[in-house]
């Protein structure tokens, strides 16, 4: 299957270090990569159907300090759909005048919802189909832009319907919050003052976070597997939905 990485922060923050750790795992997950950076109401969206280990675009992301408060990244190991650009995560759509980005790790069997013209997949993956269905159901449930709490409540009601079809670990953002759902395997980490040195799990690379942050900074990182050593990564419970705003978790589905 695939691997996910997400970041939510209270100030624009780069993910060069975390993305380098994720890209290191692309020897196995070699069927494409993508990353989406929210900047205000805008979205920088990079995808490549080549492995993050060899893609020049991935090298750009590793060394270009794009600062964002919500990021979603994905490295693909294809289970449904051919290896192609249209099947590469994260996917994006517009709803209520905002961009939405989505990435999925898992495999959904027999999931064939009826989708209307506003939300239809371009590629052949179960992941994009699930994203289109989520957007469709959110649009049906709310006439206008709902609050984060209202969105979280609706998403919490929708997740079990996807879980019934298989593995559904996902990241979703509209630039205001980061929603993360783990059905089998997902972890999160909260970074705040005092910051220290951290080392990647899969590569001999360290960074001194204290030299790059202030005492007010808060950052939440979500990943399929912990990306660093000696940090307090927390595993999601099966079927758990978490919402991150300003670098901290807030109640979901309340």
- Is residue 132 annotated as a catalytic residue, yes or no? no
Q: Is the dihedral of CA 74, 244, 167, 132 positive or negative?
A: negative
- Rounded Cα distance between 78 and 71, Å, is 22
Which whole-number Å values give the CA distances from 49 to 60, 63, 83, in the listed order?
15, 20, 6
- Rounded Cα distance between 90 and 122, Å, is 13
Among residues 105, 103, 95, the alpha carbon closest in space to that of 151 is found at 95
Q: Which of 1, 2, 72, 170 is catalytic?
A: 2
- Rounded Cα distance between 80 and 190, Å, is 33
Instruction: Give the pair of three-digit tokens for residue 78.
Output: 């294809």
Q: DSSP labels for 23-55?
A: HGGGGTS-S-EEEEEEETTEEEEEEESS-TTT-
Please list the active-site residues.
2
């Amino acid at each position: 299957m695939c691997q996910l990485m997400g970041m939510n922060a209270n100030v624009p923050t780069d993910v060069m270090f975390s993305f380098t750790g994720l890209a290191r795992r692309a020897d196995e997950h070699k069927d494409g990569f993508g990353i989406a950076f929210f900047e205000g109401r805008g979205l920088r969206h990079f995808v490549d159907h080549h492995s993050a280990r060899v893609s020049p675009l991935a090298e750009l992301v590793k060394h270009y300090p794009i600062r964002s408060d919500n990021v979603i990244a994905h490295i693909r190991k294809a289970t449904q759909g051919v290896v192609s650009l249209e099947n590469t995560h994260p996917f994006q759509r517009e709803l209520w005048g905002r961009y939405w980005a989505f990435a999925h790790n898992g495999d959904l069997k027999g999931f064939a919802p009826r989708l209307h013209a506003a939300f239809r997949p371009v590629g052949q993956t179960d992941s994009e189909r699930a994203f289109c269905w989520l957007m469709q159901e959110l649009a049906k449930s709310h006439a206008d832009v709902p609050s984060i709490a209202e969105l979280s409540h609706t998403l919490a009601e929708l997740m079990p319907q996807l879980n019934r079809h298989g593995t559904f670990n996902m990241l979703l953002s509209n630039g205001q919050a980061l929603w993360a759902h783990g059905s089998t395997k997902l972890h999160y980490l909260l970074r705040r003052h005092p910051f220290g040195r951290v080392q990647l799990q899969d590569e001999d690379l360290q960074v001194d976070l204290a030299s790059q942050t202030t005492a007010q900074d808060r950052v939440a990182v979500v990943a399929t597997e912990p990306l660093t050593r000696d940090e307090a990564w927390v595993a999601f419970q099966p079927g758990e939905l978490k919402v991150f705003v300003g670098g901290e978790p807030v109640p979901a589905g309340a």
